[in-house]
Amino acid sequence: MTYKTEQEKFWAGNFGMDYIDRNKGEEWVASNIALFSKILERTRSVSSVLELGANIGLNLQAIHSLLPNASITAVEINKEAVKELRNFDYINARHSSILDFKPSGKWDLAFTKGVLIHLNPDVLPETYDLLYKASRRYILVCEYYNPSPVEITYRGHSGRLFKRDFAGEILERHGDLTLVDYGFSYHRDPNFPQGDISWFLMEKS
């Protein structure tokens, strides 16, 4: 697989594999169930889901528990994470960079969670367009929010973590989208902590 950006190489390689070991376990799935139950209650008739940058499927396990009959597709760049995804018979796992993924259809919900923050900012417009093209109805982004773009050092690495108003940029780029709901999940939540992410659910009109 060839890569267009340094960030892709970073996540496809050893750092991405180390990330798998740091982020696994039933407590992660439980927190995700709590998060996605809030989000999905604001949707209607979601029978297909696409996640861009699914890692080992902690988000999709939660979604499957809430929407057991929905068809689920995952796109993931790290080959070891894809092996994990393929352990779940309800996940159609695609080993691909997001930047190389060409959707063959549309999904009722297309989303990212903790992925846009790690992309090279130069490729965000095409990634926004991919989410839009792949979505039949809903787009969801769960990312670190900042009103203006800012770079943060990530585990000693530069150029690997960026915060901005991802949802706002998507809404401006695609004028037929409306904001359905949004929220914040705090890392100090006593029951179901998340990593201080903000989520934004948008719908095509």
Q: How many CB atoms lie within 10 A of CB 177?
A: 19
Residue 140 identity: L
Instruction: Name the β-bridge partners of 76.
Output: 95
Q: Would strands 150-151 and 91-95 be described as parallel, antiparallel, or unpaired?
A: unpaired
SS3 assignment, position 93: strand
The verdict on residue 48 lying in a domain is yes
Q: How many CB atoms lie within 10 A of CB 178?
A: 11
pLDDT for position 114: 97
- State phi, psi for 183 to the nearest 5 degrees: -170, 180
**Segments forming the whole domain that contains residue 81:** 6-204
pLDDT for position 46: 98
CATH for 78 = 3.40.50.150
The verdict on residue 50 lying in a domain is yes
What is d(CA 17, CA 191) in angstroms, rounded to the nearest whole number?
28
pLDDT for position 24: 80
**What is the domain count for the chain?**
1
The verdict on residue 17 lying in a domain is yes
Residue 112 identity: T
The verdict on residue 1 lying in a domain is no
pTM for the whole structure: 0.96
Q: How many CB atoms lie within 10 A of CB 11?
A: 24
Q: What is the pLDDT along the chain (205 residues), one digit of tens a residue?
A: 789 999 999 999 888 788 887 878 899 999 999 999 999 999 999 999 999 999 999 999 999 999 999 999 999 999 999 999 999 999 999 999 999 999 999 999 999 999 999 999 999 999 999 999 999 999 999 999 999 999 999 989 999 999 999 999 999 999 999 999 999 999 999 999 999 999 999 999 9
Three-state SS string over 19-36 comes to HHHHCCCHHHHHHHHHHH
